Homo-oligomer: A and B are copies of this chain.
Amino acid sequence: MSLAKTLAAPVPPGGTVGILGGGQLGRMLALAAARLGLKTHVFCDNPRSCAFQVCEAHTIGKFEDVDAIGAFATACDVVTFEFENIPATTIAHIAGIVPVNPGADALRITQDRFDEKRFVESCGLKTSRVFDVDSAEGAAAAFAALGGPGVLKTRRMGYDGKGQAKVATPAECVAAFEAFRCAPSILEGFVDFAFEASVVAARAADGSFAAFDPPENTHENHILRRSTVPGRLTPAQSETAKALARKIADALDYVGVLAVELFVLKDGALLVNEIAPRVHNSGHWTIEACAVSQFEQHIRAVCGWPLGSPARHADAVMENILGAEANAWMDHAKRAGALHLYGKGEARRGRKMGHFTTLSPLTKS
């Protein structure tokens, strides 16, 4: 990555932040950038990207289109992304023109579930037991090695439960692998956790670091339903979570916001589930509960600005509004709290259409 551009100076107000991806995370990044007087240029292949509604400029193009990507990069002072499934070659191309934060290394490692798990272990952190699967024979062998039921996951391109299958027998494991069109996969052991949590944190290019308080997360059908802060984590667990996020961010020489999804085990230990090299659904509550949200924090980090304080001034519960639940927008509008709708057209099943955050007085920080 020695050819990658880095920021010579902070991007000043009036500068342009390029955002790869035009979904709700890109949209909220654009809104946060606007608050700081920065312009945004969103690049996405979907002509109806909801982030296009709130940015100064947008480009509709394929992430593999070298010419379109090049023109986009040239129009920006710095480029970031809202999702991790961007071709590494695209990032490398942009990075030769304009700085990209977070960098290609973070993206490469977190794009592959197996590499990510090995990276987590290399940091001295615990994660689930996983076995590499790249053939039907390997699928059966992995099941035997795991010694019981697990989850087969494609190494790449999975999110919100997509590219995942529970397998209870060696035959199911082979069948799932074939259903994934023999895409390189991992077999992961079940984790008998007490609850799920995450830590959303930022690291700046100078190594400074700021972690928001880790919420407890509840999932339904593999999709985040609710984040609660403070949740059931003890103060010590919260500190441990922040420390492990810092270890990961430092090891990646990370610039920007990242999220580390955690399993909190019944014995109190924390196990790293996934790393998301971007702003994260479990950090949406920071918009209301902190002076500087995860979105602004990311913009600050990628633009070379000082990180804001991650302190929260309230307790918060964030609930996602999924699919057809968005049709009841008038009911949501009547509730006491902060309603966010993402400007998406179709309320497809399970689609993240908005979220709702309720604040209550600070109980611990």
Q: Does A313 contact B (CB under 8 A)?
A: yes
- Select which of B14, B329, B336, B342 is within 8 A of A291 by beta carbon: B336
Closest B residue, CB atoms, query A303? B333
**Partner pick for A313 among B35, B306, B359, CB 8 A cutoff:** B359
**A288 to B291 Cα, complex, angstroms:** 7
Q: Is the CB of A13 within 8 A of B326?
A: yes
Chain A 1-21: CB-based contact to B (< 8 A → 1; otherwise 0): 000000000101110000000
Set of chain B residues within 8 Å of A38, measured between Cβ atoms = 343
Does residue A27 face the partner (Cβ distance < 8 Å to B)?
Answer: yes
Contact with B along A48-64 (1 / 0, CB 8 A): 00001111100000000
Confirm or deny: A236 has a beta carbon within 8 angstroms of a beta carbon on chain B.
Answer: no
In angstroms, Cα B37 to Cα A35, docked, is: 18
Instruction: Kindly list chain B residues whose C-beta atoms are within 8 Å of the C-beta of A27.
Output: 34
A104 to chain B, nearest CB (A): 27
- Pair B300/A14 contact, Cβ less than 8 Å: no
Query: How many copies of this chain are found per oligomer?
Result: 2
Interface residues as binary, A321-341 with B (CB distance below 8 Å gives 1, 0 otherwise): 000001001100110111111
Query: Are A12 and B329 in contact, with the CB atoms below 8 A?
Result: yes
Q: Report the nearest B residue to A30, measured CB to CB.
A: B54
Known contacts A56-B53, A313-B314, A333-B305, A36 near B359 by CB under 8 Å: no
| Interchain CB contact (< 8 A) of A37 among B55, B292, B313, B354 | B354
Question: Which B residues touch A12, using CB under 8 A?
Answer: 329
Q: Which of B37, B291, B292 contacts A341 (CB 8 A)?
A: B37
- Taking the nearest CB of chain B, how far is it from the CB of A77, in angstroms? 14
Q: Answer whether residue A39 sits at the interface, using C-beta atoms and an 8 A cutoff.
A: yes
A322–B147 Cα gap in the complex (Å)? 67
A residues near B (Cβ < 8 Å) are 10, 12-14, 27, 30-31, 34-39, 52-56, 288, 291-292, 300, 305-306, 308-309, 313-314, 326, 329-330, 333-334, 336-345, 354, 357, 359, 361-362
